[in-house]
Structure 1
Amino acid sequence: MPRDPLDSIAKIESFIISIPRDTPYLGPLREGEFINEKGYLIRNGNRSIYPSSDLSVIIKVTAESGKVGWGETYGIAAPEAVKAIIDNLLAPTLIGKPVGQPAVMFEDMYDMMRVRGFFGGYYVDAIAGIDIALWDLFGKCTNLSISELLGGRRHHTLPAYVSGLPRATLQERCDMAQDWVAKGYRAIKFAAAVSDDGIVTEMAALREAVGPGVDLMVDLHWKFEASEAIRLIRRLEEHNLYFAEAPCQPEDIEGQARVARGIGVPLALGEEWRTVYEVRPRLTAATCGIIQPEIGHTGITSFQQIGHMAQAFHIKIIPHASISVGIFMAASLQATAALQRVPYHEYQHSIFDRNLRFVTGDMACAEGHYTIPTGPGLGVEPTEELFQYVVAE
């Protein structure tokens, strides 16, 4: 096997992380919602399952030189499945491979299972986590940031939109929105799944609370049939809606296209898409005006492919941010900084702020903007404190 002058991969390890939280993601439990014996809950508003703790999977790639790259993947449901794929299928095939070829290794890992239909789901999530670690390691070997490795940093900060208002009542959510505006944020997204007083009522109340100068978005959580969604979004437009996210079931390409044609604001889609093979038919069908890639699903290699494809369709990119201990958030900021047409990046404040202590570096979010971490690779590394939350096998 040809040896890369930079270094070669010696070891790959994965760790499941579970960080307890007092209030579940999206806010307090509603009537009929409960945490089951495995630590998960189902939200009545969108019938989706969530963990009661912050769950994630961390990947450590060690080179023969001793240099280390860190990755993280989407692990909020059954992270054991992702870990098994990494440990048993992917990691053994990469030992001895040259460090400086993360995109090649992404393609090789993807090809290993594509004939069995695994073009999405946990298999690609596992690839995504390793891919982030490989790019981080490559950056450390070259002393370049990931933004630089991807061709250059266009943005040194990124506007952040506040995602979610996890309070029990509408008045409390309006008060919380006003607090964020006072801190310098100019964009807020609310969640239809917990809009107990009605989605239109929530939108109207939030607009009154924050005034005309703040961009308001809504996440509709795949709740509606296309005609229902069009009628609802049209009513929200009266309150100057910035975008509507995920109105129809994600597999309903025709419904998404109908909604996009029938409304006067951009439709935002894509947090669940992992590769350009999922993105391309949806863009050619004109399903959205904003794409929301989630780097915990895509990794850096696929994230960039999706970002460049979106730019070819003249579509804006507003990356999604899920539960993260901070590693893939750094990756998302680094990769996003190398793209054009990025008006915002999602800011999961109830997760990002409290988990920032688990990474080193200067990554931050304040006064309406993300600070993109500086330094080689991701610009962050996990702290020792994080490993107190590793789930024992």
Structure 2
Amino acid sequence: MGKNIVDAIVSVETFIISIPREVPYLGPLKEGEAINGRGYLIRKGNRTIYPSADMTLLVKVTGESGRVGWGECYGIVAPEATKAIIDDVLGPVIIGRDPAGAVVIHEDLYDLMRVRGFFGGYYLDALAGVDIALWDLAGKGLGVPVSTLLGGRRHDAIPAYVSGLPRATIKERCDIAVEWIGRGYKGIKFAAAVSDEGIVKEMAALREAVGPDVDVMVDLHWKFEAAEAIRLIRRLEPYNLYFAEAPCQPENLEGQARVAQGIGVPLALGEELRTAYEYRPRFEARAMSIVQPEVGHSGISEFIQIGRMAQAFHMNVIPHASISIGIFMAASLQAASALQNVPYHEYQHSVFDRNLDFVTGDMACQEGYYTIPTGSGLGVEPHDRLFEYIK
């Protein structure tokens, strides 16, 4: 590469971060929902557990040069499990390795547990955090953004759709949607898990509130059997639904394919998938037309492979964004900026905006667009004050 960038890894550290929030993710508590002694709540609408705080796992990889690579992975539930995997297994194994070989290291770490069936869940979440940190460190060693390492940046800005309307009633959710449209955003997604007054009713109200030119999307949160989902989505189509997301349980590949073939709007899938191996049968079955990789699950190495597979299958990529303090959001933007077919990136405004204060750099989301960080590596680093929130 014209420069010796060997920078042997000397340490791998992990930090559980928990930032309190007044209103839980997805909005106020509903009747029958409560925060338990560990700080978790279960949403009755989709029977899924969430933290009451913004919780995540931060990964710090240090090279012999003293440079530091930062990673972050999905750590919103039981982050101690992911931390233990990195501290006990992944970290010690990569001491002495060169972060410039991030993809090779990723493949080697995947292989460590292949024969034990750990091709999903916490193990790959842990691997994602390490992978992101290695790409960050490699980029810093060369003095270039991660997007350059991935072949080049196509986009300096990516359209953002507003995800989540965390208010108690349809009227309040319509009001906040109109507010975001007034700020320059062209896409809005609402959550079926909290549509207690009716999903079709909420879709109709949102369309009336925002007008005909705004893209309205729905996250169905894996709530429905395939035929039920098809019937529901068909009822939403007259309101010019932009896409329907996650209609069936994730393991129901046949049902996902049935829905995709039985509706007249794009189907979006993939936030819970971690590898190209999980995506491949869904590509082959044409089980979606929009893929939603979550870099906090996949890491950069798998994210970019999934994105390029999507291009080969003529599908769009609209990356998913979950609870994070901004490190893996920067990773997602860096990787997405290197892909051709990215009409949107999810914007979790209730998470991104408040936690942007905890990272340095020029990453932003304003007037309908994400700004891709311009610095070397990921282009962001955790601010010192973030570490006040170590759990």
> 1:340 maps to what in 2?
340
> 1:221 maps to what in 2?
221
> 2:138 maps to what in 1?
138
Aligned equivalents of 1:11 and 1:200: distance in 2? 52
SS of equivalent to 2:113: helix
Tell me how far 1:144 sits from its aligned partner: 0.7
> 2:64 maps to what in 1?
64
Q: After superposition, what is the alpha-carbon deviation per residue over 1:200-219, rounded to whole angstroms, capped at 9, x for unaligned?
A: 00000000000001000000
> 1:48 maps to what in 2?
48
Q: Which amino acid in the other structure matches residue 246 of structure 2?
A: A
> 1:273 maps to what in 2?
273
Contact 2:127–2:299 under 8 Å retained in 1? yes
* Residue-pair matches, total: 388
Please list, as runs of the form range in 1=range in 2, the aligned pairs for 1:45-124 lying within 5 A after superposition: 45-124=45-124
Which 5+ residue runs of structure 2 have no aligned equivalent? none
Tell me how far 1:100 sits from its aligned partner: 1.0
> 2:179 maps to what in 1?
179
> 2:160 maps to what in 1?
160
> 2:254 maps to what in 1?
254
SS of equivalent to 1:296: helix
Tell me how far 1:99 sits from its aligned partner: 2.3
SS of equivalent to 1:100: helix
Q: 1:5 to 1:169 in 2, by over 3 A?
A: closer
Q: After superposition, what is the alpha-carbon deviation per residue over 1:182-203, rounded to whole angstroms, capped at 9, x for unaligned?
A: 0000000000011111000000
Aligned equivalents of 1:240 and 1:5: distance in 2? 51
SS of equivalent to 1:13: strand
SS of equivalent to 2:239: coil
Q: After superposition, what is the alpha-carbon deviation per residue over 1:110-143, rounded to whole angstroms, capped at 9, x for unaligned?
A: 0000100001100000000000000000000000
Aligned equivalents of 2:99 and 2:244: distance in 1? 41
> 2:305 maps to what in 1?
305
Tell me how far 1:5 sits from its aligned partner: 4.6
> 1:211 maps to what in 2?
211
Q: Which amino acid in the other structure matches residue 376 of structure 2?
A: P
Q: After superposition, what is the alpha-carbon deviation per residue over 1:334-357, rounded to whole angstroms, capped at 9, x for unaligned?
A: 000000110000000000000000
Aligned equivalents of 1:86 and 1:193: distance in 2? 33
Tell me how far 1:6 sits from its aligned partner: 2.5
> 2:372 maps to what in 1?
372
> 1:149 maps to what in 2?
149
1:388 aligns with 2:365: no
Tell me how far 1:381 sits from its aligned partner: 0.3
Aligned equivalents of 2:217 and 2:343: distance in 1? 13
Aligned equivalents of 1:237 and 1:169: distance in 2? 22
Q: Which amino acid in the other structure matches residue 330 of structure 2?
A: A
Q: Which portions of structure 1, spanning 4 or more consecutive aligned residues, are displaced by more than 4 angstroms?
A: none
Return the TM-score normalized by structure 1: 0.98
- Over the matched positions of the two proteins, sequence identity in percent amounts to 71
Q: 1:150 to 1:270 in 2, by over 3 A?
A: same
> 2:197 maps to what in 1?
197
Contact 2:5–2:141 under 8 Å retained in 1? no
1:284 aligns with 2:273: no
Q: Which amino acid in the other structure matches residue 265 of structure 1?
A: V
Q: Which amino acid in the other structure matches residue 256 of structure 1?
A: Q
Aligned equivalents of 2:217 and 2:232: distance in 1? 13
> 1:25 maps to what in 2?
25
Which 5+ residue runs of structure 1 have no aligned equivalent? none
Contact 2:25–2:52 under 8 Å retained in 1? yes
Q: After superposition, what is the alpha-carbon deviation per residue over 1:61-116, rounded to whole angstroms, capped at 9, x for unaligned?
A: 00011000000000001000000000001000000111210000000000000100
Aligned equivalents of 1:294 and 1:66: distance in 2? 30
1:318 aligns with 2:329: no
Aligned equivalents of 1:224 and 1:78: distance in 2? 27
Q: Which amino acid in the other structure matches residue 343 of structure 1?
A: P
Q: After superposition, what is the alpha-carbon deviation per residue over 1:23-55, rounded to whole angstroms, capped at 9, x for unaligned?
A: 000000000000011110000100000000001
> 1:295 maps to what in 2?
295
> 2:14 maps to what in 1?
14
Q: 1:5 to 1:384 in 2, by over 3 A?
A: closer
Aligned equivalents of 1:196 and 1:94: distance in 2? 48
Aligned equivalents of 2:99 and 2:52: distance in 1? 37
SS of equivalent to 1:101: helix
> 2:34 maps to what in 1?
34
Q: Which amino acid in the other structure matches residue 280 of structure 1?
A: R
Q: After superposition, what is the alpha-carbon deviation per residue over 1:245-264, rounded to whole angstroms, capped at 9, x for unaligned?
A: 00000000000011001000
Stretch moving more, 5-14 or 364-373 = 5-14
Aligned equivalents of 1:176 and 1:90: distance in 2? 43
Aligned equivalents of 2:283 and 2:141: distance in 1? 37
Q: Which amino acid in the other structure matches residue 37 of structure 1?
A: G
SS of equivalent to 2:341: coil
Aligned equivalents of 1:241 and 1:290: distance in 2? 14
SS of equivalent to 1:70: strand
- RMSD, aligned CA: 0.6
Q: After superposition, what is the alpha-carbon deviation per residue over 1:275-321, rounded to whole angstroms, capped at 9, x for unaligned?
A: 00000011111100000000000000000010011111000000000
Aligned equivalents of 2:387 and 2:119: distance in 1? 31
